[in-house]
Amino acid sequence: MKKFLIFILGLICINGSYCNELRWAADTDSGAPSVFYDGNNQLTGFEKEIVDEVCKQLNRTSVFYQNDWAWLVPGLDHGLYDAIVEGFFRSEENENAVLFSIPYYTCPLSLIISENDEEIRSIEQCSGKKVGVLCCSRPKWVLKKYKDIIIFEYPNEYGALADLKNGRVDAVVLDYPAAIYSLMAMDGLKIVNNFDKVEYLVAVKKDNHSLIEEIDKALFKLIKNGKIQAIVSKWGLSNSLFDGYVTKVVNGNEVDARETFKQEQSVSKFQKYAKLLPVFTKAAMVTIEVSICGMIFAVVLGLILVLIKLYAPRWMQLIVTMFVEAIRGTPLIIQLFFIFYGLPFIGITLQPLVAGIVALGLNYAAYESENFRAGLKAVPGGQMEAARALGMTQWQSLRYVIIPQAFCFVLPSLTNDFIAIIKESSLVSLITIVELTKTYTMVSTSSFDFFIPGIIVAFFYLLLGLPFVRLAKWAERHLALEKSAYRAKQLPQKRMNINGR
Amino acid sequence: MNEDPLIQVKNLSKNYCEYPVLKNISFNIESGDLVSIVGASGCGKSTLLRCLNCLETLDGGEISINGISISSKLALVDYKTFLERAHQLRQSIGMVFQSFNLFPHKTLLENIMLAPMVVKKQSRELSRKQGMELLEKVGLASFHKRHPWSISGGEKQRVAIARALAMNPILMLYDEPTSALDPEMVEEVLQVMRNLDRDGMTQVIVTHEMKFARDASDYIIYIENGQIVEISDEDEIFISPKDERTKRFLKRYM
């Protein structure tokens, strides 16, 4: 990847066209109407058209870069491109991380509910209810003020609205453009109220004052000569807030247009990071909850699977084999999406946490069943014979003699898998669960600081894994079946005695 | 008391992959007897013992122990009843293996307590009391908290005998119980078996300990190539073997 970036940077430098280009980035995944690829695979969208107009004003060629939402700002800092045009809004966290232009568009937030919901009419009535928002969006930031609202975060509009339809959330709040465009594609939902305000700004690198001035000037001109209004109304995005803003710009001067953000008294960096610790601790609890529940699920199911595979009738063995192969042969992320977004189509709607645990559990159960198979095979055959000879049934022999011993054999690989599941649990962040990884991207994308939070989150993951490694080592020693392990248990004590002499 | 012999074996045969291991074996054993089965390695004597305990399926013939009878026919006609009877049979038969097969994840006492608690649903207290008595009987009461890996082979085999006795069997089967042991340890295991014989336990032993077979057995069954060559009183077989093959075998072992 790095080489690839250097290659691109190199190309640009060789071309020497650097000064005549406006290299800008957006995430096309956010879909219509902002910046997206149309049916003919052509880049389009109202923001794209605005950028084109800006480029005309600046006499530069527009060069588009696709980047994932979360990594837009790091790309900017890296010098990959000069500007971001992706509905960025200003908040106290990101104020100092980048330079913002004047707004090129403003709109309200839209409260979306199910068509037959008679109860919710405004955001105030959502207290105690579950409300879906996009991660790192203005609505999420606004909803934080309403303490009673339970916020669910989604990576895209579709996920949020699908969950509204199948009842996992009671309402969804989106930016006005996203709301009207996604409702065109989905029936059974309606916008019940527009509230608050979001301003879309162009972001450039912190020290790039000359570029932001140029962009500001261009935007002014474009608002004054009505080009932006034309684009906005062409895309059907006009609204009273935008009209008010335009009037203000047309009548007033440049300084008025840029609303200054009232910043709270500045806090030191250290204080800022200290504030993150409780947030990460809470997230770590979620990670550990998902991991432990997932692992318990996996161990129990894995054991059932292997017992079926080894001792049940042939047709059941066949089903289990197919299940294990299907799970092992497909990516976990697909399984996760299928369980969370796919199953509601056949009427099974799981809560995010449950869906995450089930997905991880099913996935790991397939691996654990093979693990246990090796463990059961490692128990000498004489053990089963001895148990049967004592009059135990096959199940009793397994339950009291074979499985406990097999467990001792598989403990090391079980520990391995547990550490792996802690890390893989980061995938559940994709189905609205706020765990460590999610918290990291949330904190980082809102403050545009990826360094220190990254170190903190890595530290937390490490911290979660270590106690289990110790626990497993302890268990290994205490469940010892052989003399060698017993000696290992005794050794430290003997050493101490020698030192004592 | 039952007039019939405790064990009746009629025309028993057993194949491993079409290769006959036991051919047409018939014998009876009376209650309270101590019987040794001797023969060269691979002659089928261990298989015979495992058949008695239904650890192997039968390919022909019939076994009746303490009134419960199973046959190769039953296995074909009604497999479920066959399995039920086999399970019933095993509960009244104790078996001791060459490789001890103690449960390594449990202490010695727990090894003995497990089967009565699981199979007979006996209470923990009663099983513990009984377990301690049995450990006492084999001279290992002070070891009850230790694990199998911390004791010698002879001690392991004595615990294995105690474990089998915990199910109150009417018959004990031993599959080469002393073959994996030092000469010194052999004696302590044989002593336990002699004591059991004195108490009236029926015991069948597959062994290479000719001296023990001669001294302790009521009679000896000599097997060669899956067939019974000679069944005779212990003195008889050693002093004047009837069969030429028995003579050759004893010459090598004595």
CB–CB of A390 and B114 under 8 A? yes
Which chain B positions have a beta carbon within 8 Å of A404's beta carbon? 105
Evaluate if residue B11 carries a pLDDT over 80: yes
DSSP state of B141: G
A318-323 long-range Cβ contacts below 8 angstroms, 24+ apart: A320/A369, A323/A366
CB–CB of B118 and A483 under 8 A? no
What share of chain A in percent tops pLDDT 70? 89
- For A338-400, give the DSSP string: IIIIIGGGGT----HHHHHHHHHHHHHHHHHHHHHHHHHHHS-HHHHHHHHHTT--HHHHIII
CB–CB of B97 and A385 under 8 A? yes
pLDDT at A187: 83
pLDDT at A480: 67
Summarize pLDDT for A130-159 with one digit per residue, the tens. Answer: 999 987 788 888 888 888 888 888 887 888
Confidence grade of residue B1 (pLDDT, cut at 50, 70, 90):
very low
Higher per-residue confidence, A432 vs A266: A432
Single out the residue of A142, A100, A69, A98 nearest to residue A447, CA to CA: A98
Q: How many CB pairs under 8 A join A and B?
A: 70
CB–CB of A391 and B91 under 8 A? yes
| B34, burial (CB in 10 Å: exposed 0-12, middle 13-18, buried 19+) | buried
Q: At what angle do helices B108-119 and B153-165 cross, to 10 degrees?
A: 20
Confidence grade of residue B113 (pLDDT, cut at 50, 70, 90):
very high
Confidence grade of residue A482 (pLDDT, cut at 50, 70, 90):
low
To the nearest 10°, the Cα dihedral for B147, B148, B153, B158?
90
pLDDT at A469: 84
Evaluate if residue A30 carries a pLDDT over 70: yes
β-pair partners for A65:
A25
Decide: B130 and B116 in contact? Cβ < 8 Å.
Answer: yes
CB–CB of B103 and A388 under 8 A? no
Distance of CA A227 to CAs A50, A64, A199, B50, B128, Å?
8, 21, 18, 95, 93
Choose from A142-151, B194-203, B214-223 the range with maximum mean pLDDT.
Answer: B194-203
Phi and psi, residue A208, nearest 5°: -90, 60
Evaluate if residue A161 carries a pLDDT over 80: yes
Q: What's the complex ipTM?
A: 0.91
Decide: A203 and A215 in contact? Cβ < 8 Å.
Answer: no
pLDDT at A303: 94
Pinpoint the residues of chain A covered by CATH 3.40.190.10.
15-102+204-266, 106-200
Summarize pLDDT for A185-199 with one digit per residue, the tens. Answer: 888 888 888 888 888
Confidence grade of residue A326 (pLDDT, cut at 50, 70, 90):
very high
CB–CB of A383 and B99 under 8 A? no
Evaluate if residue A351 carries a pLDDT over 90: no
To the nearest 10°, the Cα dihedral for A178, A184, A185, A186?
100
The 3-state DSSP class for residue B106 equals: coil
Summarize pLDDT for B143-176 with one digit per residue, the tens. Answer: 989 999 889 989 999 999 999 999 999 999 999 9
Decide: A198 and A108 in contact? Cβ < 8 Å.
Answer: yes
Q: What is the mean pLDDT of the segment spanning A477-490? A: 60
Q: Which two tokens stand for residue B145?
A: 């908290």
CB–CB of A486 and B97 under 8 A? no
Q: At what angle do helices A209-224 and A227-234 cross, to 10 degrees?
A: 70
Q: Angle A289-A133-A23 (CA atoms, 0-180°, nearest 5)?
A: 110
pLDDT at B252: 74
Evaluate if residue A13 carries a pLDDT over 60: no
DSSP state of A63: E
| B18, burial (CB in 10 Å: exposed 0-12, middle 13-18, buried 19+) | exposed
The closest CB to that of A393, out of B87, B103, B105, belongs to B87
Least confident of A108-122, A175-189, A467-481: A467-481
Owner of token pair 């054999």: A409
Instruction: Give the distance from residue B112's alpha carbon to the nearest chain A alpha carbon, in angstroms.
Output: 10
Confidence grade of residue A19 (pLDDT, cut at 50, 70, 90):
low
Summarize pLDDT for A370-400 with one digit per residue, the tens. Answer: 999 999 999 999 999 999 999 999 999 999 9
Which chain A positions have a beta carbon within 8 Å of B160's beta carbon? 386
Cα-only R_g, chain A: 29
Instruction: Give the distance from residue A288's alpha carbon to the nearest chain B alpha carbon, in angstroms.
Output: 30
Q: How many angstroms separate the CA atoms of A290 and A313, rounded?
A: 34
Pinpoint the residues of chain A covered by CATH 1.10.3720.10.
270-500
| A111, burial (CB in 10 Å: exposed 0-12, middle 13-18, buried 19+) | buried
Residues of B numbered 24-43 whose beta carbons fall under 8 angstroms of chain A's beta carbons: which are they?
none
Best CATH choice for the domain A270-500 from the list 3.10.20.30, 1.20.1260.10, 2.60.120.380, 1.10.3720.10? 1.10.3720.10
CB–CB of A389 and B53 under 8 A? yes
Instruction: Give the distance from residue A493's alpha carbon to the nearest chain B alpha carbon, in angstroms.
Output: 18
Q: How many angstroms separate the CA atoms of A196 and A83, rounded?
A: 26
Distance of CA A408 to the CA centre of its chain: 37
Owner of token pair 């058209």: A49
Query: Which architecture characterizes domain A106-200 according to CATH?
Result: 3-Layer(aba) Sandwich (3.40)
Distance of CA B51 to CAs A395, A476, B7, B165, B204, Å?
21, 38, 12, 20, 13
Q: What is the mean pLDDT of the segment spanning A344-353? A: 86
pLDDT at A118: 82
Instruction: Give the distance from residue B101's alpha carbon to the nearest chain A alpha carbon, in angstroms.
Output: 6
Q: What is the mean pLDDT of the segment spanning B182-206? A: 91
Evaluate if residue A436 carries a pLDDT over 60: yes
Decide: B47 and B231 in contact? Cβ < 8 Å.
Answer: no
Query: Which architecture characterizes domain A15-102+204-266 according to CATH?
Result: 3-Layer(aba) Sandwich (3.40)
Evaluate if residue A441 carries a pLDDT over 80: yes
Confidence grade of residue B75 (pLDDT, cut at 50, 70, 90):
confident
Q: How many angstroms separate the CA atoms of A75 and B90, rounded?
A: 74
What share of chain B in percent tops pLDDT 70? 98
Owner of token pair 């030191």: A268
pLDDT at A254: 54
Owner of token pair 């990516």: A331
Evaluate if residue B41 carries a pLDDT over 60: yes
β-pair partners for B88:
none
B118 touches chain A (CB under 8 A): yes
pLDDT at A10: 53
Evaluate if residue A485 carries a pLDDT over 80: no
Summarize pLDDT for A107-116 with one digit per residue, the tens. Answer: 999 999 998 8
Find, in chain B, the residue whose alpha carbon is nearest to that of A484.
B149
| A14, burial (CB in 10 Å: exposed 0-12, middle 13-18, buried 19+) | exposed
| A492, burial (CB in 10 Å: exposed 0-12, middle 13-18, buried 19+) | exposed
Evaluate if residue A263 carries a pLDDT over 90: no
Question: What average pLDDT does the structure give for chain A?
Answer: 84
What share of chain A in percent tops pLDDT 90? 33
pLDDT at A4: 63
The closest CB to that of B95, out of A389, A481, A482, belongs to A389
The closest CB to that of B115, out of A392, A479, A480, belongs to A392
Summarize pLDDT for A264-313 with one digit per residue, the tens. Answer: 445 677 777 888 888 899 999 999 999 999 999 999 999 999 999 998 89
Q: Angle A434-A440-A446 (CA atoms, 0-180°, nearest 5)?
A: 100
pLDDT at A15: 46
Summarize pLDDT for A200-232 with one digit per residue, the tens. Answer: 999 998 888 889 888 988 988 888 888 889 999
Q: How many angstroms separate the CA atoms of A256 and A251, rounded?
A: 10
pLDDT at A449: 78
